Amino acid sequence: MSAKQKISDDYLSREFPMSKDNFSLIQRIAYEFTGIKLSDHKKNMVYSRLARRLRSLSLPRFDPYCDLLMLPNHPEHGEFINAITTNLTSFFRENHHFEFLKETALPDIIKRHQSDKRIRIWSAGCSVGEEPYSIAMVVKEKVNTSWDVKLLATDLDTNVIAHGKAGIYESDRIESVSAERKKRWFSHSASGDSVRVKPALQELITFKQLNLLEPWPIKGPFDIIFCRNVVIYFDKETQKKLFDRYADLLADNGYLFIGHSESLHRVTDRFKLLGKTMYQKIK
């Protein structure tokens, strides 16, 4: 028996039998819905996350679940997307981005917008909100309160959007945040188990559900776009289209931040590299 056949048999003998055809269909639908390419080595992760959906729906195996996914505009489509998307994040993750934002990008943008005093920022793939709230802290600390600053935070997953909008986190999530920022930007619950982001930060941010592969109801231009650890799930062709759309929405000389394992090399020539995963639009 080959290793590949054994893996297939293992999945057929689990709590919810999942055939090779089931997984192939899930791979295809995931790509069509989200642009995410699920490689074969993601099969265990996919099984684990979707098994919860089968339990919720009282389905005995993956065959009827796949039938649901094939139905047009079925409510399970949203639950499927939420289940397979990954939402790993933290406050001030990849801190060099926020240092650059504070010391270089924002001062440059402030100089360029002296006349209109308007700044627009987009956190694309914002997960549960720790990235946009980190951006908002830096903005509040750097930009005069008289300025018109708006921060759009979007994600494919409706559950994480709701989490971000609520702005409530377990206390250990802000362990890496400085004592000064903890005091200024968070309120602690009576039990001390959770914290809430203060309204002064929340008022800067608009949370919206958005599929990056579909039309964007967004006008721009943006001065800054964060799209970190999102495109690693997309193939090169999808990446090229996505970054071209970002460039179209960025103002001239606008800034783009991507994830630590991502690169624009051989993807687009519309940005120049400024430092580790930090770019500026050149055309």
Catalytic one of 49, 61, 173, 181: 49
Extract the tokens encoding 57.
Answer: 């729906």
Instruction: Please identify, among 65, 84, 103, the residue that sits at the C-terminal boundary of a domain.
Output: 84
Return all residues near 38 (Cβ < 8 A) that are at least 6 apart.
26, 27, 30, 31, 46, 84
Rg (CA), the chain: 21
User: Strand, coil or helix: what is 261?
Assistant: coil
Question: What is the pLDDT of the chain when averaged over all its residues?
Answer: 92
Evaluate whether residue 90 is within a structural domain: no
What is the strand order of the sheet 118-124 is part of?
Answer: 205-209, 148-155, 118-124, 222-227, 250-258, 278-281, 271-275
Q: Is the dihedral of CA 132, 134, 135, 136 positive or negative?
A: positive
- Number of domains the chain contains: 2
- Counting residues of the chain whose pLDDT is more than 90, the rounded percentage is 77
Query: Is the pLDDT score of 13 beyond 80?
Result: no
Q: What is the pLDDT, as a whole number, of residue 9?
A: 60
Convert the pLDDT of each residue in 40-85 to its tens digit. 888 999 999 999 999 999 999 999 999 999 999 898 998 898 888 7
Q: Is 155 a catalytic residue?
A: yes
Q: Please check whether residues 73 and 101 belong to one and the same domain.
A: no
CB 205, CB 133: distance < 8 Å? yes
Q: Is 269 a catalytic residue?
A: no
Q: Please check whether residues 109 and 71 belong to one and the same domain.
A: no
Q: Please check whether residues 170 and 251 belong to one and the same domain.
A: yes
Catalytic one of 155, 157, 223, 228: 155
Return all residues near 86 (Cβ < 8 A) that are at least 6 apart.
233
CATH assignment of the domain containing 121: 3.40.50.150
